[in-house]
Amino acid sequence: QGWLVESGGGLAQAGGSLRLSCAVSGSAFSIDAIGWYRQAPGKQRELVAVISSSGSTNYADSVKGRFTISGDNAKNTVWLQMNSLNAEDTAVYYCYAVSRDPPMDGWGQGTQVTVSS
């Protein structure tokens, strides 16, 4: 198990909701930003949403208004609330974090999200 621990995901019906979480294990990291990416079969990995340590956020156009990224700096944990899911959201979702101290970055193990229509 790496330094990023993902949870959540699973199966949802179209129109339903799921919540993903990404926790940085241990308190030794000062995180600059944590983001969620996804990769569908046969497609490139793409950014879904990202949040910085200051709380600023950015979303892919395809998820704006449906997904919300939030975080707790004290817990080094980020959540991705996904609402109004559709079949195009089906993918493996990966957490990606950038640490300024120590300077490093890395990926979580990935979690499958499947939306049935």
Q: Which pLDDT score is estimated for 95? A: 97
Tell me what the mean pLDDT of segment 18-37 comes to: 90
Residue 104 has pLDDT above 80, yes or no: yes
pLDDT, tens digit (0-9, with 9 covering 90-100), for 51-86: 999 999 999 999 999 999 999 988 889 999 999 999
Q: 74-97 burial, b for 16+ CB within 10 Å, e for fewer?
A: eebbbbbbbeebeeebbbbbbbbb
Contact (Cβ atoms closer than 8 angstroms) between residue 42 and residue 19: no
pLDDT at 117 over 90: no
pLDDT of residue 1: 57
Cα angle: 100, vertex 103, 106; to 5 degrees: 100
If you average pLDDT over residues 102-109, what whole number do you get?
A: 93
